[in-house]
Amino acid sequence: MNIPSNLEKFVSPQTPRETRLMAAKAVLPMGPKDLVIVLSALIGDAEHEVSETAKKSLESMPSHLLLTVLDGDLDPLAIKTVVNIHKDNDGILVMAALNRKTDDETLAFMASNAHEGVANVIAENQTRLMRNPSLLDALKTNPSVGKSVIDRVEAFLISVGKIVPKQETVSAHVEAEALQIKEIEKEVAPSEEEAPAIDAELKEEKEIVTEAEKESLYKRIQHLNVSGKIKLALLGNKEARDILLKDSNKLVSSTVLKNPRITEDEIVKVVNSRSVSDDLIRQVANNKEWLKKYTVKLGMVNNPKAPLTVALRLLNQLNEKDVQHISKSKNVSSALAAAARKAVMQKEKNLSEIP
C-alpha cells in the first residue's frame, strides 16, 4: 500500500507497538482519509492485537465518513480493505464500484458477490467493462444479476470489440441499448480526469431551504451524469435525496435508500407514496430495521405496490383501529382487505366468548 510519508510514523514496523496500537484504536488526531489509510495498513500488522484493533476500528467507522473518503482519491489496497470489511453495506460497495482507483480484483469480487443494486452499478459502468471485460464472467456467477443485465453487458462488449460474439445472435433491442455509467464526463481516454466531486453544498443538511434554493438545486442535479447522481444519492442532503428519489433512473432512485443519513420520516414518505416505483417499495420491505417502525409498517400495508406476503405479515402487527380501516379500504388488494376483515371478525368473536 502506498503510505504517505506523514503517516509512516503510525504504521511502520519500526514504530513502537504502543504508538501503533493507539493509531489502531483511532484515538490519534487525523482526518477520515488518513484514518482509513492507517487502519487499512495496520490490519496487516504482525502484532495480533494491533491488527484486530485496527479491524474493529474500521468496522465501526461511520458510513457517511467512509462514503466521503471513497468518493475521493484513495489507494486501491485501502479501498479493497474497506470493501472486505463492509461487504454487507451496499452504499459503501456502490461508492467503491464508482471509484476509478478500485482495482479489478476488488471490482470482480463485488460483481460476483454483491446484492443486485451494487452488481447493476458495475454492469452499467462501460469504462470499467471496456478496461476489464472479464467482469462479465464475474457478473454471470452472481445469482442476483438477471439475464437481461448479462445480455446487455455482453452486447455492449461485443459492440466495442472486447469479446467475440457467440453463435446465437443477440436480440436487436439488447444491441441498441447503451450502458448508463461512464467514469468520465467526456469520451476521453480512461486515464484522464474523472467527473468533478460532488459540491459540498449539496451534502450539507439545512434546517430551512427556500423555494428558490430548491429550484436551483433541482437544476444543478439535472446536469449531473448518472455516476454523479448515484454519488449524490449516497452523500446528498435531504433536499437532494428528495429530488433523486423521483429520478427516472432506477439505479439512482434506489441508491438514495442506501444513504446512511436517510431518516425515518423519509422512509415513511416513500411507503405512503403511490408514485414511487415498485423497486423502492420492495427495497424498504427487505429492510428489517425500517420495518420495526410502526409508521413504516402502516404505510407499507396501505401501499398497493407492497408485496402481498409482506403486507399480510405486517397486518398482524397493526393495532385494531388500523386493521378495521384496512378491512374497509378500496385502495388495497382484495386479498389484503379480506384478511383484515377476517382478523376483525376473529377479534369480535374472541371478545364475545369472554364471560
Cβ atoms of residues 122 and 107 within 8 Å:
yes
Strand, helix or coil for residue 181 = strand
Cβ atoms of residues 206 and 232 within 8 Å:
no
- Which of 46-55, 184-193, 218-227 has the lowest average pLDDT? 184-193
Inform me whether the pLDDT recorded for 118 exceeds 80: yes
Residue 9, C-alpha cell as written in the block: 510514523
Residue 346's pLDDT is what?
A: 86
pTM for the full predicted model: 0.85
* 154-168 confidence digits (pLDDT tens): 999 999 889 888 765
Rounded to 5 degrees, φ, ψ at 181 are -110, 130
Cβ atoms of residues 142 and 111 within 8 Å:
yes
Query: In this structure, is the dihedral angle defined by the CA atoms of residues 155, 158, 162 and 166, taken in order, positive or negative?
Result: positive
pLDDT average, residue stretch 39-65:
96
pLDDT average, residue stretch 54-76:
96
pLDDT average, residue stretch 320-324:
94
Q: Which band of pLDDT confidence, cut at 50, 70 and 90, is reported for residue 193?
A: very low
Residue 194's pLDDT is what?
A: 47
User: DSSP per residue over 240-252, as a string?
Assistant: HHHHHTT-S-HHH
Q: Mean pLDDT across the chain, nearest whole number?
A: 89
Residue 244, C-alpha cell as written in the block: 433523486
Greater confidence (119 vs 349) lies with: 119
Cβ atoms of residues 266 and 293 within 8 Å:
no
Residue 110, C-alpha cell as written in the block: 463485488
Residue 210's pLDDT is what?
A: 84
Rounded to 5 degrees, φ, ψ at 125 are -90, 90
